Chain A
């Protein structure tokens, strides 16, 4: 899809020939997020100001809702947003702390502590993309009774960007300058034109901590602040108790700034155990109201849902389970590292082998029989039934064609049935993390590959090693000492810039950067690099969107990255509970709006 195609699509939305929803969904198939799509519509004036998919809040008074019990199969350990490692901790912190604005699941930005969302029309957004001005909501109180003001906002910037505090949120706050305009106005200034301005102070990682409690801990002593484990925020529930690795409790905050909110009197977030029994605790026994992130085979969830106590919520996001084919040779050691970019993979350097491999991934079966509703088959290609359909870019599962391609490319079957050319045999090591659906997927791919004369050796690595940044360990995914690997890349921001830049050549994981680079397959393409650089500074959202689509086509078209299934967020809740969820923000992003129907 090109820039022109995009503009035509937007035109159709304006004329009413295409629904907003249809537009968002169509862009999702080319790898663009809902927030990006909404942003495109906003430019054209085709977007509503407020989120559309927000369910109405029907509670008529504050409190009286009893207890809200939430179950996570991972337990939180540190509820300070600036030190939060992992989603669990971020969500725990988000129970108490709030950002200026959060992302609704349809991609609109919703004000929380901000009075309104900045736009070019209301003067909040600078035309040149160099600054954004936020007006703060008045009358907001911290849980200890102090007033919330612009000083708190500025302090969070100072705190997060300070290298000595080693805040995990620092990525959002470096490269920006924050100025207090008055007590209820702050201006965020960027050192270059910035298309994605809603990063600092927005979404879960943008939640704000109080200056009056953390002011004296803005330095190396930041991690010793007593309020790190006793949060005092502005959220709907105030802190009651916290046992690290076990349970977090809160109670209704009487002075909350939202009208008639919150509904529940207490909140409990219990952690630990496993995903299957978490689903059981909601769907089968109803002991809990909500269970988070159920990475469980869908077959099982469907059976549990049959008890009719609760339902499974599926929220489309942009997380993608994919297989990477190594561009470099994992068996050859050069200058003390394997999979060095000075080498090329003996088999995958042949596009025919990569194409065959992509044809051998039975995405339909994986989606239908393993992930179910939790994993629609991913193509990242346009396959809607209109003139944008591109027949050579569609994914398919076709063993016969893979065989033909390999035959034509000169990979002949040996005596043992395994194909070879010269002294290169199609025998690959396929690694992933320990996770039941992933091991099932591995087996499905292995069987199809076997029928095509490709022998796969499967390997599973415990997640705490596979996903670690440990330089000494050979089994981490950035090291990629294997021919193929599979995992989910999560998109932590509403904007795809950071997500897509992971396949830029300067992100290649290598010994030189301690394998900190995010480009595990060591994919390199000059055209791709140029597109990433161009998108960083492109202010025209339509042009920028076209660049992202181009990047997606380059990397997926090379077959070094084979999308398998999309991974929407799957959770379970009781039938009576009305949770408000979003794929672009924390589970707790609209906790104040949760209520229970009688």
Chain B
């Protein structure tokens, strides 16, 4: 086990390096220019644009820029944003708490919906509960988040005027009032993301539990006369967790990476919106930093999932 872990961690390093090379190449080759708005502004002479490009090293060959980036990254220097001229790590740290709070909460919400509803639906397949849960789940993932987000805004902000729809990072209140305001402005983005994710996960949980319910060892457990709740929890759910763990592990990096569409709708200053504005303005240092951390998290949580598989099903061997 320890040896397996060690090997996986060692593999992770060249994996990350490889990914970083590909990321950098894609970004360097992708069309776009950090100074697009300068291009349409007739007041700015072309020399200024060229000076700017040169001062940011944009005219160097790709491989030189990659090694420069890698060198400083290894020394813990994340570089400066082309656009804001402040250190990239400051920019990310500014947005991390909001992202983790909103996206994290939505993932928790999704799990809290998907696990109980999925299990209950699967233990009584084709009952009324199952039908209703399924239909809601289908609605949930057939509608894109840009749509449900707007629906919620129209209902709760404009029609009922209960919730604000512009997220503010600085609330002028303290104590309980602060928490209340924070809660009010977070409900809608969390709900939009959580329900979308929860809908899909519910279907997965239901399907996974259904698969296990039909297996022999469950029938055996039931035949032994164990109470139904115990059968469900001990024998069914645990065995059905493998796909769920896979999915959750797939989603975990998003807690760092943010959710672009939802952040845009509610103006949540998360890492998703940082990434998209950086991409649209070709702010390579920021894109590189965010995607690189994201890649590290993807690899890390893949590893965590692999270890959890072994814990859930001890027969899985590590080779």
Contacts and interface: CB of A to CB of B under 8 A. Distances in A.
A244 B86 contact: yes
A270 interface: yes
A39 B282 CA distance: 41
Contact of B31 (A274, A475, A478): A475
B174 interface: no
Contact of A473 (B32, B35, B48, B168): B32
Interface string B38-78: 11111111111101100100000000000000000000000
Interface in A469-492: 469-470, 472-473, 475-478, 489-490, 492
Interface stretch (A95-103, A164-172, A362-370): A164-172
A224 B55 CA distance: 12
Contact of A465 (B31, B269, B273): B31
B151 to A, nearest CB: 13
Ranked nearest first, the 9 interchain pairs of A and B with the lowest CB-CB distance are A469-B39, A473-B31, A246-B269, A468-B36, A244-B84, A86-B37, A166-B51, A516-B46, A464-B280
A519 to B, nearest CB: 11
Contact of A172 (B43, B85, B161): B43
Nearest to A244: B84
Given A464-B32, A473-B31, A516-B46, A281 B169 contact: no
Contacts of A502: 42
Nearest to B274: A245
Interface in B156-215: 157-158, 161, 164-166, 168-170
A247 B273 CA distance: 13
Contacts of A167: 48
Nearest to B51: A166
A498 B168 CA distance: 40
B40 A288 contact: no
Interface stretch (A77-85, A123-131, A407-415, A590-598): A77-85
A543 interface: no
Nearest to B39: A469
Interface string A168-209: 111110100000000000000000000000000000010000
Contact of A241 (B37, B170, B265, B281): B170
Contacts of B284: none
B153 interface: yes
A392 B12 CA distance: 73
A333 interface: no
B168 A270 contact: yes
Given A83-B85, A170-B48, 16 more contacts: A77-B281, A168-B41, A223-B85, A246-B169, A273-B166, A277-B265, A280-B153, A281-B165, A284-B158, A285-B161, A285-B164, A464-B281, A468-B282, A469-B36, A470-B32, A473-B32
Contacts of B281: 77, 464
B45 A468 contact: no
Interface of A: 71, 75, 77-78, 83, 85-86, 163-164, 166-172, 174, 205, 220, 223-224, 228-229, 241, 243-247, 249, 270, 272-274, 277, 280-281, 284-285, 287-288, 464-465, 467-470, 472-473, 475-478, 489-490, 492-493, 498-499, 501-502, 513-514, 516, 518
Contact of B33 (A168, A245, A277, A468): A468
A502 B40 CA distance: 11
Nearest to B273: A272
B51 A247 contact: no
Given A85-B37, A245-B277, A492-B41, A78 B49 contact: no
Contacts of B45: 170-171, 174
A473 B41 CA distance: 19
Interface in B119-173: 153, 157-158, 161, 164-166, 168-170
B264 interface: yes
Interface of B: 31-33, 35-49, 51-52, 55, 81, 83-86, 91, 94-95, 153, 157-158, 161, 164-166, 168-170, 264-267, 269, 273-274, 277, 280-282
B46, B48, B267 — most chain A CB neighbours (10 Å) = B267
Contact of A469 (B35, B42, B51, B266): B35
B48 to A, nearest CB: 5
Nearest to A247: B169
A355 B296 CA distance: 59
A272 B48 CA distance: 28
A125 B158 CA distance: 55
A287 B164 contact: yes
A418 B81 CA distance: 51
Contacts of A205: 43
Contacts of B165: 277, 280-281, 285, 287
A169 B52 CA distance: 13
A58 B176 CA distance: 38
A273 B91 contact: no
A273 B85 contact: no
A109 B264 CA distance: 38
A243 to B, nearest CB: 6
